[in-house]
Structure 1
Amino acid sequence: MSIQQTAEKAKAASKLMAAVDTNTKNDALGKIAEALEANTDAITAANKEDLERAEKGNLARALLKRLKFDGDKIAGVCRGLRSLAALEDPVGKTLASTELDSGLELYKVACPLGVVGVIFESRPDALVQISSLCLKSGNGVLLKGGSEAAKTNRILADIISRVSVEAGLPDGWIGLLETREDVSAMLGLDNCVDLIVPRGSNEFVQFIMNNTNIPVLGHADGICHVYVDRQADLDMAAEITADSKCQYPAVCNAMETLLVHTDIAEQFLPAAKKALDEYGCRLKGCEKTQKIIECEPADEDDWQTEYLDYELSIKAVSRMEDAIEHINKYGSGHTDAIVSSDEAAARKFLSLVDSADVFWNASTRFSDGFRYGLGAEVGISTNKIHARGPVGLEGLLIYKWLLLGNGQTAGEYASGQRQFTHKTLGKDCPL
């Protein structure tokens, strides 16, 4: 089947998906979880082949960690599927209601986008998360994962497609793309695909944007920061620093640059280094940092690098405003945090840092759809239109206006025979 045919099939299925009832969708999610558990051996065997091929191709350590899909990760995605099934169905939710006149009522109601094309990295768990979110939100989906995970993605997509159709979903709602040529073909299908979500480098996202007429929800680099303020609890700061960088460094919400106020740098940096050394983290620092702890020199490129590994750049700043300026200049608008006991400083930081996710006294690793209670995510958006931050169920919805009348005509209002009331109703659409 060609990509054109796959997309057309997904488009037709998406029309039916929009009307699938909540119980059917939740039942499908539960049965997918059961099927993944039952096929754990086959899935891990396929993943082992992918891993062996990737190792022979000298894939980076951080990417190998993402690629691995063992029993623990399968159990994790199954928990996520069941958690998603337990969430309220957002499709059909009334967002606003207005009486235009007696007997003429307008409702703003949430509905699916249609067909979502998602291009993601070599993370098999992402395929399960993305497809399940599209299922729950009533969308069709076209998936293109990294080629390193080809066999794992194929078996996962086959299981999800087969089981969901058996559970009552329309055939073709999920389609798998496997080559770069498939992606190029999809970019031209603006008659079938309603949104593209590219996950990857900023250059990759820009390439997608420049080569399609389809709306793009951009997930750029994850150059995240933690700023340790002059009034920070230093023990707390050390824990947040280690967690933000090292809890899982191969993901986009891991910290890449640590900013430290000079007033506490001599106290804090040795403690931070001790915590980071436990993970074997390679440190690079500005001149002030190098005078306090042993580290390599950092240069201009380091401030704008997403390491995705046990590697961190450190800069000492004399004012919080300098930290904010640094973040807004070098950051990717993803996730940035301040550690401080000064509420006024925290409020200013949260207001002035121009990122999708800005935290106070918390690890950057909390920037995640599952942790936000969104039912996982298709990606983290740094856009300022439609959806921003972790894109979960609500980010895969748009809305339609439903007008319920009783024979009214516009001419009656144009002539002055009738007048608009424009009263807020505050009630759900009755249909």
Structure 2
Amino acid sequence: MLENPTEVFLKLLRQQVLARSQERNRAEHVYGALECDLHPLLPDLAEAGQALARALRRLADPLRTLAERLHARLQEEAETLDSVTRGRIEAMVRALRRRAITRLDAWIAMLDALDHPPEPNTTPTHIHFLRLDRRERQRMGEQDVGLHRHWLDPTIPFASVMAMPAQGMLITSATLRDRSDTPHIPQHAPDTAQQEQMAEEAERAWEAAEARTGVSHFPAPAIRASLTSPFDYARQTRTFIVNDLDHNSITDLAAAYRTLFQASGGGGLGLFTAISRLRGVHNRIAPALEESGLPLYAQHVDAMDNTTLVDIFRTEEHACLLGTDAMRDGVDVPGNALRLVVFERVPWPRPDILHRERRIHLSGGDTTGYDDRIARLKLRQAFGRLIRSQSDRGVFVLLDRRTPTRLLSAFPTGVEVQRLGLAETARQIESFLAPNGG
């Protein structure tokens, strides 16, 4: 009986993931995923990959021939083809290349990489790994298994695609430079040595920003500009770290969210690093908030897309919203509708294979600093959601008492971070957000 080469290959991928994943015995998998390195391969996996590559080439070659002949017809019959027919042929050639040939070529290239394990002590261009995704809350509900191929540095293709057609580019963000990279400004007039140190620190800050955005791969150097914020964050915001919660207790976490949302009178955005904890908190606090007149919406719970959830949250001033990273990056709610942001714990990068390899090769040897920069930028992005105008006021809360002091430079200059208990934090929030508070 003939077997489908794709099914054989995927079956072997699954076997390798289950055999080698270090997370297979954990009761809770982050985002329901298991991962393992591609190499070394299972004994039969290389042969199965070659068989699948041959099958894909048998599919890609006639499609490529068809596209070439259609393109040749445009040249050979240029004088007789009417505009409608020419347009249809051009559209067909584009569709063949975009929807079939390009994808098949990419898959074949991935399969060819099976026979080429990475050389030791070298920096790879691409990262290959295997991943098995499982449906949430289902023991045997495996959803997808695949061979993944990612750029080690995704800014390389970004720069190559953007540099060719663009006559000029503007890259701007409030989180381009990490505060830990910005130069320390002494209170007194700096001497020559301090001036040189400040200049070196400023240069490192810009170089790190250019590396993160891909500017270092563009043919011409960037023109740099740094502008001060128009907002008075010290007056318009308050920042707290709650230091009396058991971070392993979902009951304590839910009680903290309920208390803080009630103290702010709604307008709260709760951010999570794990979907399971988000759902656990939602189940525990939704009835109590509903009784208080504070509607609660949640990503991965309510059957709505993120855009719809944010639109509802924006229009209901006393509503609260729970979400993960995608919600943090996509929320833009000016005014009083968003006045409280609560992070359940420090948003450290997920320790998956892709992050591990980038941490090794792109950190410049400072792996701890690499993780710190990612966490600080996530905190800065979330904090920045609070203030969109000079009349806004907002509160930022971290429910992780283990937050290291070195991450607090994520917040703007002048913002005082207070480590308080939950009850005192709630009282401070209620006082600050009162009509005559602050």
**Fold conserved between structures, TM > 0.5:** no
TM-score range, shorter chain: under 0.3
Give the TM-score normalised by structure 2. Answer: 0.23
User: Which of the pair is proportionally richer in strand?
Assistant: 1
User: Which of the pair is proportionally richer in helix?
Assistant: 2
